[in-house]
Amino acid sequence: MSTIAGLRAATWALHQRLEKRLDVKARFSSCSAYRAHLEHMWGFCAALETNVAASLQGVLADFDSRRKLPLLSRDLLVLGSSAAAIDALPLCPGIPRCEDAAESFGCLYVIEGATLGGRTLLPMVQSRLGMTAEHGASFLASYGDDVGSMWRAFGAALDACCSDQQHRDRAAAAAAATFGSLDRWLCADPS
């Protein structure tokens, strides 16, 4: 079994819970709701990318091309945010601390998986809000036509890093904790 298959199995229930709790139709019902969703994703990705960057340097050669903050910032600017407002957005607390590359891969697995999911959400944003990959929906269109090859490259790097059960277990625990953090961040009750 590949490490990605192991992570998928270990986080399946958490992934399903998050999908059920996210009201995608409401989040993409208006430009303001979509913008609020992207602001939350920016705060999550900013915290996560900062947390995993050091341990993935040299281990995941294309890490910089996988960063979502430039895409999210571009989309938020299209939606009327200023650069200063974007920089002032709150960061998600509770991103798991990553002590090594295996844990960092586990955290990044959640966002890389969201990249695949973004491809299914892109048509909704295009039809409802008139956004495109080039104008307001670059985050959802991450990697463009290369999404499949980027996913396979991520899986190969993950397998190389997590070649034994101890590392696979650490990656799975970090992925589960990251799903929990994302769930709390995106779906917290406002009361």
Rg, Å, the chain Cα set: 16
Q: In this predicted structure, what is the pLDDT of residue 190?
A: 45
Q: In this predicted structure, what is the pLDDT of residue 57?
A: 86
Class of residue 191 by CB neighbours under 10 A (exposed 0-12, middle 13-18, buried 19+): exposed
Query: What region does 143 belong to: left with phi over 0, alpha with psi -120 to 50, or beta?
Result: left
User: How is residue 122 annotated by DSSP?
Assistant: H
CB-CB contact of 48 with 178 (8 Å): yes
Query: Full-prediction pTM beyond 0.85?
Result: yes
Q: In this predicted structure, what is the pLDDT of residue 53?
A: 94
pLDDT digits (tens, 9 = 90+) for 37-87: 999 999 999 999 999 999 998 899 999 999 999 999 999 999 999 999 999
Backbone angles phi, psi at 4, to 5 degrees: -60, -40
Q: What is the mean pLDDT of each run of 10 residues along the chain (191 residues)?
A: 92 93 90 96 96 92 96 98 97 92 97 92 95 96 95 96 95 97 84 35
Q: In this predicted structure, what is the pLDDT of residue 189?
A: 54
Q: In this predicted structure, what is the pLDDT of residue 23?
A: 87
**Which domains, ranges and CATH numbers included, belong to the chain?**
3-186 (1.20.910.10)
Q: In this predicted structure, what is the pLDDT of residue 32?
A: 95
CA distance 142 to 35: 17
